[in-house]
């Protein structure tokens, strides 16, 4: 196993775990923020939601952002 060959100390392993947990939490926070932004853009595009309150130009920009975000 790789960890045996590296001979990491217990403190090193704890530090690596803390970093992994922190990065996982940051990733989840970013995912949640991205979902919230996507939902807002969808509301801007939808004419029966916020879409009626914004100009066609704003709706078109929101639509383009949604298209560019979608996985290919």
State pTM to two decimals: 0.71
Q: Token digits for 31?
A: 């995912």
Q: How far is CA 67 from CA 1, 16, 58, in A?
A: 44, 38, 14
Q: Token digits for 29?
A: 């926070």
Per-residue pLDDT of the chain (72 residues), as tens digits, is 555 566 778 888 899 999 999 999 999 999 999 999 999 999 999 999 999 999 999 999 999 999 997 665
């Amino acid at each position: 196993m790789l960890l045996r060959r590296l001979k990491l100390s217990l403190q090193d392993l704890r530090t690596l775990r803390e970093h992994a947990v922190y990065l996982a939490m940051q990733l989840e926070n970013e995912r949640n923020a991205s979902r919230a932004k996507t939902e807002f853009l969808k509301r801007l595009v939808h004419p029966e939601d916020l879409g009626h309150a914004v100009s066609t130009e704003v709706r078109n920009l929101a639509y383009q952002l949604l298209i560019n975000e979608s996985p290919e």
